[in-house]
Structures are given as C-alpha cells and as structure tokens.
Amino acid sequence: MIETTNKHDGAPQGPRPLAEALEMTRALIQQTLDGVDPALTDIARHLGKSSGKHIRAALLLSAATDARGLIEPDAVTAAAALEILHLATLVHDDVIDDAPTRRGLPSIQSQFGKKTAVISGDYLFCLCFSMIAGMSHQYPEQISLFARAISSLCIGELNQHKHNRDSELSVMGYMRIIAGKTAALFFLALYAGGLLGGADEKQRRLLGRIGFAIGMLFQLADDCLDYESTSDTLKKSVKHDLAEGVITLPLIFAMRQNPALKTIAARSRLSAGEIRDVAEAVVQKGGLSQARTIAERYYHRACKLLDQLDEPVRQMQIRQLLDQIHNRRH
C-alpha cells in the first residue's frame, strides 16, 4: 500500500521561497522513493541515483510563487508528483525503445528486466496519482489536469511511434507530436503551479501558454542537440534519435532540401557511420539552423507572454528557468 505525505520530519510547514521549496521537493521525491514497498526498493534506489535536474518541478514551483515570493507546501507535493510522473514515463520509454542506458546509468529494463520495468512504471504512475489525491480535497481539478496531461503524453508517444521512419512526416505533424509528448507536461507544470499559487483563471491560462511554449522550446532544443552533440556531451543520447527511427525537425528540413536523405531516414538498422553521414548532411543542408530558428520563435513567444504576467517574483523566476533552457548547450 502506498503511504504518501507532504510532511517532512521536523521541518516547519509554512510557505517557503523557491530555493527552499525546490530542496523540499527533492527531499520529498527521495522520501517517496525510499518509502515504496520492499518489492520495489532496489528499483527506487536505482531511480533515485539517476534523478535529473527537476526542471519541471522548478517551473511548477516558480508558477506557484505568490505575491510575497513564497510557495505553499501543497505546491511542493504537486512538484514532486510531477517529477515522479516524469520518471514513470522515462521508465516506460526505456521499455518502448529497448534503451540500454538512461542518464548515464543502465536503464531499469536492462538492469531489472522488461517485466519489472513495465510494472515499476505503472507503480510510479500510481504514486503520482496518490500524491495528488492527498491534496484533492482542496484542489479537485488537479487530478483531471494530471490525467489529461498524461493522456496527451501517451497520444504524443503513440503518434511518434506511428511516424517512426516516416520520411514524409510534415513539420505540422512533428509539431503535433512534440506538443503532446513534451509540451503538455510543461503546460501542466505552469498551469497547476498557478492554481496552487492562487493565480486567477486568466493568469493561469497565460501560465499554461507560457508552459506550452517553454515545452516546445525544450523539445526542439533537445532535438537540435541530438544532431549537434556526441554521446560524450549529452548523456541521454548514447543512441541517436535516428537510430530509433525517430525523425525530428532538423532532419525534416534537411530532407526538404535533399530528398535523397528520405531513403536513408526510412530505413531501419542504420550503421553508426550512416547516422554520422546523415547528421553531417542535416547540418550542411541547413536543417539544423532552420530548426534552431523555430526554437527561437518559441523562446520569443514565451518571453512575450511572460511580460503579461502580473506577479513580478513569479515572472522573474520563470524567466530565469526559461533562459536556462534557452542557453542549454549540452
């Protein structure tokens, strides 16, 4: 049985500034993973080791910052739940992609087997819903928001999978895929944060739109980095997207310039050399810079929307995270 709590042993329960709230979120994630059923202890420990940068949690907390610059404990719970949800999707992604590693460590699937990976992912989904359910008396909308974001994510993943090795995938088709598989969760982070931080309906919608733009920027930047960097600089990408049959924007643009690339993109089992050749062609044909231009547009859209936010601390904090994502080069 799951036992979740948003209380920290000995820690006072009042509202906190961002840095402290983020620290509490990290502690709550760890505490939640530590508190799982003994059957899952090894897996939870493994997941705890490879924990990421918690960018989604930081965004949720920033959006939840009130006029005093403080964040309520409920937002810490929601932020931790969001990161655990993200972890669940990563575990299932590894099953789907048969990925050998994740964040530089062996994936759950390669370490513990497929069965354990599927079930652990399901368990993490439950953990997330349990945490949200613990606060649903006050915020009954949260569950619907989370459920909707996860379903978008599933649909995005399904659509991506459908278009694997589809050399005719359009720019719009690609945008729809990443809107579901990535931006929906960033939308959730900022919208839910706004709800928990007492933002009114109009500001919440605005926050959601900012989140969406940040999510699109985040995914586009990720896809560009995949063509720019080698496995040494980007831990995640020991395997290139293309090796998985995933066609992203830089390649779509490059294929427009050089249709010969389509034949290679449609093939399965590309050699490392072939992938390197495609990556070089994508850079030479301007696919990478075109994709970077689109990413920039989302950055500017997010900036413009941010200007309309009426809460200065919230605004400043989100802007810092946005710039961090924008300047990411590995």
The residue ranges that bind a second copy (CB under 8 A) are 1-2, 37, 39-40, 92, 95-96, 114-116, 118-123, 125-127, 129-130, 132-134, 136-137, 140, 143-144, 146-148, 150-152, 154-155, 157-159, 161-162
Distance of closest approach, residue 110 Cβ to a second copy, in angstroms: 15
Q: Which is nearer to a second copy, 41 or 320 (CB)?
A: 41
Q: Which is nearer to a second copy, 59 or 153 (CB)?
A: 153
Distance of closest approach, residue 136 Cβ to a second copy, in angstroms: 5
Distance of closest approach, residue 164 Cβ to a second copy, in angstroms: 9
Distance of closest approach, residue 286 Cβ to a second copy, in angstroms: 31
Q: In the 3-class helix/strand/coil scheme, how is the chain assigned residue by residue? A: CCCCCCCCCCCCCCCECHHHHHHHHHHHHHHHHHCCCHHHHHHHHHHHHCCCCCHHHHHHHHHCCCCCCCECHHHHHHHHHHHHHHHHHHHHHHHHHCCCEECCEECHHHHHCHHHHHHHHHHHHHHHHHHHHCCCCCCCHHHHHHHHHHHHHHHHHHHHHHCCCCCCCCHHHHHHHHHHHHHHHHHHHHHHHHHHCCCCHHHHHHHHHHHHHHHHHHHHHHHHHHHHCCCCCCCCCCCCHHHHCCCCHHHHHHHHHCCHHHHHHHCCCCCHHHHHHHHHHHHHCCHHHHHHHHHHHHHHHHHHHHHCCCCHHHHHHHHHHHHHHHHCCC
Distance of closest approach, residue 283 Cβ to a second copy, in angstroms: 29
Q: Which is nearer to a second copy, 7 or 114 (CB)?
A: 114
Q: Which is nearer to a second copy, 192 or 279 (CB)?
A: 192
Q: Which is nearer to a second copy, 57 or 127 (CB)?
A: 127
Q: Which is nearer to a second copy, 201 or 307 (CB)?
A: 201
Distance of closest approach, residue 154 Cβ to a second copy, in angstroms: 4
